[in-house]
């Protein structure tokens, strides 16, 4: 009887040992992260099953389930990094089932606000074609939302937002370069460059005026070029003025003019 019981216990121990996963100490942290990420993904998928948008985004929901299954497969194969990565992707996909429509609307709202700001700056004068394309893309976004094509809508919305931000970045860059040019001219004037290096200083002033005018005409690319040129000329004028001032200080005093009797 004892022998029979002993055999049963030994068999049970062998089964348990065979089924348990042996994790190297060095791999334990990543294994724990992968397991935690998989559990989180399962919870996110479970929550998304109750989302009102599930029917519209069922493909995305199925993608989340597929990513979770892949994560579990990699965990079983001891590829903990891949398991973790796919589990995180599953989490994101599951959350998007709930959040994607709201994300699209937020992007559209921000893009429309930026377009309005761009028009107020007069950018439709030189960026008219770009702005029209962005507005067309946003119309397409809204059309895709109407037909519940949220993933395509988000892609288009992000592209539209990227384009309008790029245009606004040009405005910011032009503004910064004009400010730099003004500062450089002020420093040159403080060193009397307007009198000690008048030709270069005058050229710098003219370049700055061109930059200001092109800014007013919403030609921001040209404004950047002119402002950069103005700053460069102002720095050259400053150097020339300092050199001229140094020469004047080192020159001997002029001989006195003899009195006429």
Domain boundaries, the chain: 30-99, 103-168, 171-244
**203/135 Cα distance (integer angstroms):** 41
Question: pLDDT, tens digit, for every residue of 5-39?
Answer: 554 444 444 444 444 567 889 999 999 999 999 99
Query: Which pLDDT value is given to residue 20?
Result: 55
CA-based nearest residue to 97, from 134, 158, 46: 46
pLDDT tens-digit map of 57-99 = 999 999 999 999 999 999 999 999 999 999 999 999 999 999 9
Predicted pLDDT at 18:
43
Residues near 159 by Cβ (< 8 Å), separated by ≥ 6? 137
Q: Which residues of 163-194 are buried (b: 16+ CB within 10 A; e: fewer)?
A: bbeebbebbeebeebbeebbebbeebbebbbb
Judge contact between 208 and 180, C-beta under 8 A.
no
Q: What are the distances in angstroms from CA 37 to CA 59, 79, 172?
A: 22, 14, 41
The tokens 């439709």 sit on which residue? 124
pLDDT given for residue 19 in this prediction: 46
* Backbone angles phi and psi of 82, in degrees to 5: -65, -40
| Tokens read off for 189 | 């004037």
| Residue 160, C-beta contacts closer than 8 angstroms, at least 6 positions apart | 107, 111, 134, 137, 138, 141
Euclidean distance between CA atoms 154 and 111, whole angstroms: 12
Q: How far apart are CA 31 and CA 71, in angstroms?
A: 12
* pTM summary value: 0.64
Which 3 state secondary structure label does DSSP give 42?
helix
Question: Taking residues 167-196, what's their average pLDDT?
Answer: 94
Q: Token pair for residue 225?
A: 């070029």
Mean of pLDDT over the chain: 88
Say which residue, 122 or 182, is predicted with more confidence. 182
């Amino acid at each position: 009887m004892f022998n029979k019981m002993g055999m049963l216990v030994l068999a049970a121990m062998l089964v348990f040992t065979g089924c348990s996963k042996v994790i190297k100490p060095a791999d334990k942290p990543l294994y724990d992260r992968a397991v935690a990420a998989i559990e989180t993904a399962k919870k996110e998928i479970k929550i998304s099953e109750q989302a009102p948008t599930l029917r519209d985004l069922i493909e995305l929901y199925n993608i989340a389930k597929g990513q979770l299954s892949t994560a579990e497969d990699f965990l079983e194969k001891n590829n903990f990094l891949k398991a973790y990565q796919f589990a995180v992707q599953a989490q994101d996909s599951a959350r998007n089932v709930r959040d994607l429509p709201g994300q699209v609307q937020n992007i559209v709202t921000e893009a429309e606000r930026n377009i309005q700001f761009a028009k107020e700056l007069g950018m439709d004068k030189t960026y008219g074609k770009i702005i029209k394309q962005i507005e067309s893309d946003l119309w397409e976004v809204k059309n895709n939302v109407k037909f519940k094509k949220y993933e395509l809508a988000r892609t288009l919305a992000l592209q539209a937002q990227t384009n309008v931000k790029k245009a606004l970045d040009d405005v910011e860059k032009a503004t910064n370069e004009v400010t730099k040019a003004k500062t450089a001219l002020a420093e040159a004037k403080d060193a009397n460059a307007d009198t000690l290096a008048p030709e270069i200083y005058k050229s710098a002033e003219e370049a700055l005026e061109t930059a200001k005018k092109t800014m007013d005409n919403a030609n921001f690319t040209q404004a950047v070029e002119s402002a950069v040129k103005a700053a460069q000329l102002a720095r050259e004028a400053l150097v020339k003025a300092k050199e001229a001032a140094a020469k004047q200080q080192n020159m001997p005093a002029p001989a006195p003019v003899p009195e006429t009797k």
